[in-house]
Structure 1
Amino acid sequence: MDSIKKILGIVWILMAAVVAYYGLTEFGIPKIMSDKQEDHVFGWIILTILMPIIVGGLVVFGWYSFTGEYSEEHI
């Protein structure tokens, strides 16, 4: 079971990279460069608030899973 947790930890970290790339290229930067005011607000909210929370959470969860923090030995 611990080997599955380590593999899924890598998957979570890779998912964080994909979410960061997709969030920047599809939601963040194009919305900031738009001419509409509501797009500017949405783009800045995505870049400054949501992206760090989402990507940071995925990376931390993946790292803890990869390093074995959720194994039975740590309890």
Structure 2
Amino acid sequence: MNLLRKYLGILWLLLGVILGVYLFYQTAQALSSPTTNAEDYVFWIVIVTIFIPILIGFILFGYYAYKGEYSSEIRK
């Protein structure tokens, strides 16, 4: 079970990084459009502000799962 947690930790870690890159790619693509108006800027600022902490949580959760912090073994 601990091996499964490590593999899923790597998955969460990579998922957080990939989603972060995708979020910034989509933001840059939407804001570089010639038809961008002020409402688009406000929308993307809100989206990025909300999702950055979620992505950081994914990455931290994956890191700690990979390091074995969630294992059921008793540590001394």
Query: TM range, normalised to the smaller chain?
Result: 0.7 to 0.9
Root-mean-square deviation (CA, aligned residues, Å) is: 1.7
Q: CA separation in 1, counterparts of 2:31 and 2:74?
A: 45
Gaps of 5+ in 2: none
Residue correspondences, number: 73
Q: Deviations over 1:39-65 (max 9, x none)?
A: 110122223x12321210100110111
SS in 2 for 1:72: coil
Tell me the distance in 2 between the aligned counterparts of 1:40 and 1:33: 10
**TM-score, scaled to structure 2:** 0.82
Map of 2:32 onto structure 1: 33
Q: Distance in 1 between matches of 2:17 and 2:29?
A: 19
Which of the two has greater helix per residue?
1
CA distance in 2, matches of 1:61, 1:42: 27
TM-score (norm 1): 0.83
Runs of 4+ that moved beyond 6 A: none
Match of 2:18?
18
1:7 paired residue number: 7
Give structure 1 stretches of 5+ with no counterpart. none
Identity, % of aligned pairs?
33
